[in-house]
Amino acid sequence: MLSVKRVLSIVSSATATYIYARALHTVFVRDANSVVVTSYGGHLQFLTILTLFASLLRQITCFLYSISGIRSLNALQSWLGILTTPIEVIVTMLYWPLKIYKNGLVKDNRFGLVIDPELDRMCHLYPAIFEFITSTALCTRKWPRGNIIPFLVFSAVSGGYWLWFETTFKHNGFYPYPLLAILDTQKKAILIGCCTIVAFLTYKLVLAFQRK
């Protein structure tokens, strides 16, 4: 007989999988004739989309573990969660304040994209909630503890995305997010550094919840 926690995990991961898949499908259908599709990197220029794909894989893995009990799947979803949870939190923490302050900092008008409120929440709010809940209360095993290695991993991920959006800029002549166009190298370094710190603190927060 399935435990209450296992049932909640199945429901949560199934719901998250549906939301993530629906969000990605909506974005790809909406942008079929957009500049985004023909530009270098396509949708993968955007941190939101990159992370949403990873989060979708994590939730599918979590769902499969919840119904099968295969330990290797639990290990995989846990390792994926170490990356997806902090990054989804970063996406949410960056996106909403910037959008409220000035929408043009996160949305380039040249793309001609329309983001309805529900799609906005599916891409920039719900993932952070589901990933955090999954990592702290549901389908999970305790994350490995550490300081230096996790910080270096988050630094590598942040730095890797920096290199990636600079590469897309060289090919396209524009950044995926307008905010990046008004930041010089020093300010970008500060932004990337802050994101790395937030990711590390989120990792530590999840560990604190897991110890309870």
Dist CA 4 CA 102 (whole Å): 44
The HSE-up count of residue 68 (CA atoms within 13 Å, CB side) is 11
For residue 4, with 0-12 CB atoms within 10 Å meaning exposed, 13-18 middle and 19 or more buried, which class applies?
exposed
pLDDT of residue 32: 82
pLDDT of residue 4: 86
Domain residue ranges of the chain, discontinuous segments joined by +? 4-210
pLDDT in tens, the chain (212 residues): 678 888 999 999 999 999 999 999 999 998 888 888 899 999 999 999 999 999 999 999 999 999 999 999 999 999 999 999 999 999 999 999 999 999 999 998 877 777 889 999 999 999 999 999 999 998 778 899 999 999 999 999 999 999 999 999 999 999 999 999 999 999 999 999 999 999 999 999 999 999 87
pLDDT of residue 1: 67
pLDDT of residue 31: 85
Dist CA 171 CA 173 (whole Å): 6
